Amino acid sequence: MSNKAFSPTPLTLHPSTAKISEVFRSIQGEGPYAGVPQVFIRFFGCHMHCSWCDTPDSIGDGKRVYKEYTLPQLVRTVGPLAKDCHSVSLTGGEPLLQADFIKLLIPHLKKMGSKIYLETSGVLFKELKKVVGGVDIVAMDLKLPSSTRCRPFWEEHAEFLKIAKRKDCFIKTVISGETTREDVVRAARLVSAVAPRTFFVLQPNTFDLHNGAVGKCRDFQTVCLKYLSDVRILPQLHKFMKVR
């Protein structure tokens, strides 16, 4: 993607700030866009505490380290990094906890020529409504309670997917050594009922690669293909390459 020459528009009308863990350039490591260059804006904070979370600092379970960015500061930081990048990833934590700020941010990222890639837990559908008009790609998690050790979010996921399917949306669900067949079948049926052609990723938990997660993914793929047309097993590429 070719980016337009970046010339920040003066931003003085919106004093809002966002809590940001880090801003950096790397490659996307998950799902169908694995390998493309992106700028990552990692928003601080999350409403969930998944047992396999690989960014505990960003959700406050580790170090509570973040910087408060104003809108102009963040735009100026992202601009030089975004040249020749495929997209800007809004990730976390859970970025939609700061949806009001993101709604203000998106138009300025668009002026740079950047596509907007939203990586989210797939739960906060009311917040998604605020920003979905400016989002190009939705990387939606589907949280299986046997994997996350959190409460179920089936109804929230269904409502979220009804909105997200309007965009280029794919679903990722993490498979751990504890993931149950029952949860995977319910997830596949949920997606089949709402958006059956959605690209569906079974992602083996990186911490459980030698604890049965890969074998479970292979078994669960067969199960999911009874309900969905495109189900793939894709690990976290960036973990193997040892990059952020």
- List C-alpha distances in Å: 229 to 61, 189, 196, 226: 37, 12, 7, 8
| Chain segment 171-223, per-residue pLDDT in tens | 999 999 899 999 999 999 999 999 999 999 999 998 777 778 899 999 999 99
pLDDT of residue 208: 74
CA distance 192 to 108: 36
Indicate yes or no: pTM above 0.75.
yes
pLDDT of residue 209: 75
Whether 7 shows a pLDDT value over 60: the answer reads no
pLDDT of residue 49: 80
206: exposed, middle or buried (Cβ count in 10 Å: 0-12, 13-18, 19+): middle
Domains contained in the chain, CATH given: 17-241 (3.20.20.70)
**pLDDT higher at 211 or 86:** 86
| Chain segment 90-122, per-residue pLDDT in tens | 999 999 999 999 999 999 999 999 999 999 999
For residue 50, what is the DSSP state? -
| Chain segment 15-53, per-residue pLDDT in tens | 489 999 999 999 999 999 999 999 999 999 998 888 777
Assigned token pair, 195: 């958006």
Q: Pick from 242, 219, 228, 234: which is nearest to 195 by CA?
A: 228
